[in-house]
Structure 1
């Protein structure tokens, strides 16, 4: 009996034969991809030092928080092995938080093939953050200064959380890119960012910019605003922060529920009114595919809080002014959304609003839907967008300040 117990214990102990100690691992937190020379791929790894920023910091006082390595290889798998030429630890992709792709590579036809080979890489998770950088990905990673985060992975964790609160960038995951590319009907929106300093700033409203155009004074030049539009796996254009917001308002699977923006004062047009827009209900969208040119109608209900009214016009208790403001906001939203719709049909020629999800339900079989060819018919569609605005709250001080009384 004792012999059998001894033999059985030997089988149980064999499970640790391929173990790797934690100190032997090099955890990559960011992978950058750029177009190299002669068909090669330039791969950048940002490798975190797990001791820096942790309770074990005293043992790594003179060590850097991370190491950045860039090398050329035919694909990601070969690059990971080549990285061990200069790195003594085992390079692991199991903790990658973000995949950064240079804009030049994203626009290249070869990127779709590269993205397919990435899925075969063992250990790399599909739910990593997907970001397109204005400059090369290697430059973005090296110049991305995060003054509040010692550990580099925290920057990308928090960036992914902020999209819901601002709507300036879309929710952009690598697995979503793969999913939308396979649909061959709509577009994929990726986060657009930059870490390089732009000397010439474009004077626009706060959300009418893309990354690198926002005038902000900070110790870091990193900006993430706007989105890159992918069609058939290839980048074909960009949306500003405002255009991205309006697009997310119409997408059925978007989780953005609150936006802060400004509108022109309808009474005193030289001023603007600060507002907070709430999206409590999804847009009601109808798609008619009886004819080859689809007809799309959308009704978007939103609630609007007045955050600031510099003109001191009474919009809270004056019914006439309140109705005028409500109508003005509806028309402004419709006008701006119509411009984005026109851009998607005439310039991008792709459904960025994901209307095809609803169009697909109109067909009994997938063959019928594929024969309809939504990608080809979408640019010819008639699209009508209507906003239903409800003035919700006016702040703690309902009535505007009486300037005459203040002078007295």
Structure 2
């Protein structure tokens, strides 16, 4: 009898512990989850911090939904973490950084150095290593105010999908927080960040305003904010912010960013337009894709580094507007050589720009060069980042056109004048 009583009491105690709800449980909408955090130069304090977070409201299925723009708050504070604490004076829920998509630094802040902010964020346990780093050509606050969803109600989903566009088009890099932090401290290469801006439509032209249209020629890239797009959303991604240590020293435009990604092995695929080699007034549109990572080999001759890079890509013809019969084996060679030279010139010029103008190895060639040193101490004493501009870099491109689209051949056109031969 005594054993039964003890068993019952013990069972009740166990069930009371197991079946009791968690004392620290919270609902998903009990906290505020910022999507973007912007850092601008402060006036009275060190920084002006801007956060964008979703607005929750009851949906048809009693769930939580977001508006297309979200809530935006700005505050002047001495640090990022304290700014989030101070914002709780006006935000009714605790602000947590667990689901931040990106940190946006204004160019003014980036030029002076963002290392102090990156190091502080790295120590904070709520920030994920996959958070993106963005440099805004103007104020970060203005960029965030123009970050809105025009397709669906979820601004957080829109932001995440927008950042992933880097893998589809290659007009800007997708640089994670952890990668930026690691490269900022690296002796092998320098960090980069996505370059963005607000589009004020100043580059939109009509028939009465055709000045400066040379920028629209094939191979000419854009800076963010200069891409001639009319859209309800005002922000643009386009280009790469180049850093020397933790300070921004320059940028690559949209096309240069593609060449940078190709050389680094991060370019996946994208559409490229080149002039028709036989009818230069018409364009040829090609779908390019990488087939393997570049092979990089570095040797030293007379104390100077020589870097050999081999890149392999395939191309598919998407459109031939001139009507030239490039399906013919005689003509396809001319088109292939034109595309190859176009891409190769772009890569060579981009690499040269990083050497001469910025002296920043954003390609990671230092990883290959380090193999020529016996010890880490020898490598660090050499200071690769200082000598990068002295390197002779040879790029070899193996490009082959694999497919000609859905047409077997280009036919002649007929009109009242008769046959128009192509």
User: Given the two structures, how large is their TM-score scaled by the length of structure 1?
Assistant: 0.90
Q: Do structure 1's residue 47 and structure 2's residue 58 form an aligned pair? A: no
Q: Give the 3-state SS of the residue equivalent to 2:33 in structure 1.
A: strand
Per-residue Cα deviation, 1:325-358 (whole angstroms, up to 9, x for no partner): 2222222222222211111111010112211122
Q: How does 1:96-111 map to 2 (within 5 A)?
A: 96-109=100-113, 111=114
Per-residue Cα deviation, 1:121-146 (whole angstroms, up to 9, x for no partner): 23121211221112211111112232
Distance in 2 (CA, whole Å) between partners of 1:200 and 1:341 is 28
Number of the residue aligned with 2:233: 220
Distance in 2 (CA, whole Å) between partners of 1:128 and 1:142 is 19
Please, which of 338, 343, 347 is the counterpart of residue 333 of structure 1?
A: 343
Number of the residue aligned with 1:347: 357
> Cα distance 1:382–1:89, how it changes in 2: closer, same or farther (>3 A)?
same
> Cα distance 1:52–1:314, how it changes in 2: closer, same or farther (>3 A)?
farther
Distance in 1 (CA, whole Å) between partners of 2:65 and 2:373 is 62
In the alignment, structure 2 segments of 5+ residues that lack a partner are 1-5, 205-211
Number of the residue aligned with 1:148: 151
> Cα distance 1:97–1:53, how it changes in 2: closer, same or farther (>3 A)?
farther
Count of aligned pairs: 402
> Cα distance 1:6–1:24, how it changes in 2: closer, same or farther (>3 A)?
same
Q: Give the 3-state SS of the residue equivalent to 1:345 in structure 2.
A: helix
Q: Give the 3-state SS of the residue equivalent to 1:395 in structure 2.
A: coil
Number of the residue aligned with 1:257: 268
> Cα distance 1:259–1:24, how it changes in 2: closer, same or farther (>3 A)?
closer
Larger radius of gyration: 2
Number of the residue aligned with 2:409: 399
Please, which of 181, 197, 208 is the counterpart of residue 178 of structure 1?
A: 181
8 Å CA contact 1:277–1:304 kept in 2: the answer is yes
Q: Give the 3-state SS of the residue equivalent to 1:183 in structure 2.
A: coil
Per-residue Cα deviation, 1:151-209 (whole angstroms, up to 9, x for no partner): 21112211232111101111211111101111033222211112341414563247611
8 Å CA contact 1:171–1:191 kept in 2: the answer is yes
Q: Give the 3-state SS of the residue equivalent to 2:91 in structure 1.
A: coil
Q: How does 1:304-323 map to 2 (within 5 A)?
A: 304-319=315-330, 321-323=331-333
> Cα distance 1:99–1:405, how it changes in 2: closer, same or farther (>3 A)?
same
Q: Do structure 1's residue 122 and structure 2's residue 122 form an aligned pair? A: no
> Cα distance 1:158–1:13, how it changes in 2: closer, same or farther (>3 A)?
same
Q: Give the 3-state SS of the residue equivalent to 2:348 in structure 1.
A: helix
Q: Give the 3-state SS of the residue equivalent to 2:35 in structure 1.
A: strand
Please, which of 392, 408, 418 is the counterpart of residue 382 of structure 1?
A: 392
> Cα distance 1:251–1:23, how it changes in 2: closer, same or farther (>3 A)?
closer
Q: Give the 3-state SS of the residue equivalent to 1:119 in structure 2.
A: helix
Per-residue Cα deviation, 1:252-274 (whole angstroms, up to 9, x for no partner): 4x2x3212111111112222211
Number of the residue aligned with 2:257: 244
Alignment RMSD, CA only? Answer: 2.5
> Cα distance 1:54–1:333, how it changes in 2: closer, same or farther (>3 A)?
farther
Per the TM alignment, residue 296 of structure 1 is displaced from its structure 2 partner at its CA by 0.8
> Cα distance 1:78–1:312, how it changes in 2: closer, same or farther (>3 A)?
same
> Cα distance 1:209–1:299, how it changes in 2: closer, same or farther (>3 A)?
same
Number of the residue aligned with 1:76: 80
> Cα distance 1:283–1:54, how it changes in 2: closer, same or farther (>3 A)?
farther
Per-residue Cα deviation, 1:52-108 (whole angstroms, up to 9, x for no partner): 778436x889x8862111001111111111011111211111121121111111111
User: Given the two structures, how large is their TM-score scaled by the length of structure 2?
Assistant: 0.87
Distance in 2 (CA, whole Å) between partners of 1:262 and 1:354 is 28
In the alignment, structure 1 segments of 5+ residues that lack a partner are none
Q: Give the 3-state SS of the residue equivalent to 1:361 in structure 2.
A: helix
Per the TM alignment, residue 38 of structure 1 is displaced from its structure 2 partner at its CA by 4.4
